[in-house]
Amino acid sequence: MSAKPRKPRPDAPAAPAPAGAGTGAANPLWGGRFAAAPAEVMQRINASIGFDRALYAQDIAGSKAHARMLARQGIIGRADAEAIVAGLDRIQHEIEGGTFQFKTELEDIHMNVEARLAELIGEPAGRLHTARSRNDQVATDLRLWVREALDALASALRDLQHRLIDKAARHAATVMPGYTHLQPAQPVTFGHHLLAYVEMFGRDRGRLEDARRRLNECPLGAAALAGTSFAIDRDETARELGFERPAANSMDAVADRDFVLEFLAAAAIAAVHLSRLGEEIVLWASPAYGFVRLSDAFATGSSIMPQKRNPDAAELVRAKAGRIVGALQALLVVLKGLPLAYAKDLQEDKEPAFDAAASLALAIAAMTGMVADMEADEAAMAAAAERGYITATDLADWLVRVLGLPFRRAHHATGRLVKLAAEKGCGLESLALAEMQAVEPGITAEVYSVLAVARSVESRTSFGGTAPANVRAAAAKARERFA
């Protein structure tokens, strides 16, 4: 006896459609060549409206510029252009008001806008796509979006720099250990350490600004890949959209995503710099260092250990770098094997860019908040600077400068004195003069003047050095340079 068919559970997923099965008529905007609709899975892999709706403002701006240019060139009627622009304004109002219905079957933001425009104004909507393609349309939209993201991120980095400069000026004379290999190396000031990040973020801003200059060419009018036979004015649309010039080659205009790569590369470098500062805050806030304290606004607790104060914001800034570096890697791999001109692979350029921009903006905002919030424990920093024989280089320099020893001999003698101090469990400044002279007979009592940590810091007056006077001057100049 055959088994009775089972009733599907109410929450069971629907069975997949057979291969090749469609879900309706062919797409009304491009389906003239096709007799049947695409398979359901084809619709899902082909559709980008789930993420490229973020380009709605740029898409509408580009379409309005294109319609006005077509009318001025006599390619479409002025009344049609006015109807198109008015319809596009209404669509933007609907999207921003949350009443616009995005449809997956219309694939992307361009076709969703165009279909709604046809509902609103009828036949004139069909004239908008004259002398353009979705290929140059999306390239233009994305350049506009990336340009705005670059401007916003550069501005956010400027704010972070100024919070760092404020803190650096306040701690121009706060002594702390400087490290190499995470080992105590030489004394520096906290202000000097923070200004190092001001320089890093200044270069990051420069990379973002350079990327903006290079991307500021307009693809609109390149059409699918070969240009158009219509007498369009690409200079006009470029000017209206704030570009410096039209892209010079129609194939490059639609196929190029260098500008996204350059944005992601600049974003990845900035994220790495943020991650390094985040790592330092994690270390500094730990009891093992105790150099800084974050307020409750930037710390979290543990679900099981009541004593914990975790620097989670700094840890998450550190982690965001992985996402942003991954976005760059993903797009590099997408692009590496693509022949000219356009291929649908380029649909995968947007999500990495959108995610990287959002992740970097959040990381910068969090770091800006932490820098303003954190309070330095000057006593803990000073105590740490007394450990690890970090004035040993000052001793070696004194042997060269005062006794005229070759540096290598001075280095060797200093190493022997450090070894002696370590064996005695004391600092260099606590060694007796006779003990020092047993290693290097020419040493005099004057040597003790260079073994104090504060004196070491004050002596580093070379350009870019850590002397407090240098740090105060550098902070003032940085405020001007990075205004």
Which residues are designated catalytic?
Answer: 181, 302
Q: Residue 198, exposed/middle/buried by CB under 10 A (0-12, 13-18, 19+)?
A: buried
H-helix or E-strand containing 184? strand 183-189
Q: For residue 257, which phi and psi values (nearest 5 degrees)?
A: -130, 20
Which two three-digit tokens encode residue 419?
Answer: 């070894």
Taking Cα atoms as reference points, which of 121, 119, 149 lies closest to residue 58?
149
Contact 290, 382 (CB under 8 A): no
Pairing of β 183-189 and β 175-180 = antiparallel
Contact 115, 28 (CB under 8 A): yes
d(CA 391, CA 399): 13
Of the CA atoms within 13 Å of residue 376, those in its CB half-sphere come to 23
Rounded to 5°, angle at Cα 254 from 250 and 259: 115
d(CA 94, CA 313): 36
d(CA 127, CA 137): 15
Contact 184, 177 (CB under 8 A): yes
Maximum Cα interatomic distance, the chain, rounded to a whole number of Å: 109
Neighbours of 27 (CB within 10 A): 18
Which two three-digit tokens encode residue 284?
Answer: 């500094």
Contact 88, 60 (CB under 8 A): yes
Calculate the CA dihedral of residues 322, 325, 328, 334 and round it to 10 degrees.
Answer: -50
Contact 381, 291 (CB under 8 A): yes
How far is the CA of 372 from the CAs of 82, 167, 170, 369, 375, in angstroms? 50, 7, 12, 5, 8
Q: How many helices and strands in the chain, by DSSP H and E?
A: 18, 6
Which two three-digit tokens encode residue 76?
Answer: 């479409």
Q: For residue 99, which phi and psi values (nearest 5 degrees)?
A: -105, -5
Angle between helices 78-97 and 109-121 (to 10 degrees): 120
